[in-house]
């Protein structure tokens, strides 16, 4: 377990984007619940490692979790934001 502050949000793989060039990687577009309407999609390389050390790919429609974590030094206590 990490001591880093984090948040995990549910998401859904909206589509798989095939590379336009052979040297590029396939991408997975993920809609993250809780994001602003115009900024809720992210695209990542469609390659994950499994527990056996193998590579796997996401499928369109897959339910996923997106975790954002930060070093404690990169955060401030809520209510003490600088303006």
Residue ranges of the domains in the chain?
A: 6-68
In this predicted structure, the answer to whether residue 33 has a pLDDT above a threshold of 70 is: yes
* pTM of structure: 0.81
Each residue's pLDDT tens digit, 41-70: 999 999 999 888 889 999 999 999 999 999
Residue 51 to residues 46, 48, 56, 59, 71, Cα–Cα distance (Å): 17, 10, 10, 18, 26
* Alpha-carbon gap, residue 13 to 43, rounded angstroms: 9
Phi and psi (nearest 5°) for 57? -125, 150
Q: What is the pLDDT of residue 1?
A: 55
Residue 62: name the closest of 11, 1, 18 by CA.
Answer: 11
11-26 mean pLDDT: 95
Instruction: Give the H or E element holding residue 31.
Output: strand 27-32
Q: What integer is the mean pLDDT of 4-27?
A: 95
Mean pLDDT rounded to a whole number for the chain: 91
């Amino acid at each position: 377990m990490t001591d880093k502050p984090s948040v995990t949000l549910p998401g859904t793989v909206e589509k798989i984007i095939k590379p336009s060039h052979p040297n590029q990687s396939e991408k997975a577009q993920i809609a993250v619940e809780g994001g602003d309407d115009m900024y809720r999609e992210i695209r990542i390389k469609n390659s994950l490692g499994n527990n056996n050390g193998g590579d796997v790919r996401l499928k369109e429609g897959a339910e996923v979790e997106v975790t954002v974590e930060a070093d404690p030094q990169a955060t401030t206590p809520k209510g003490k934001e600088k303006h």
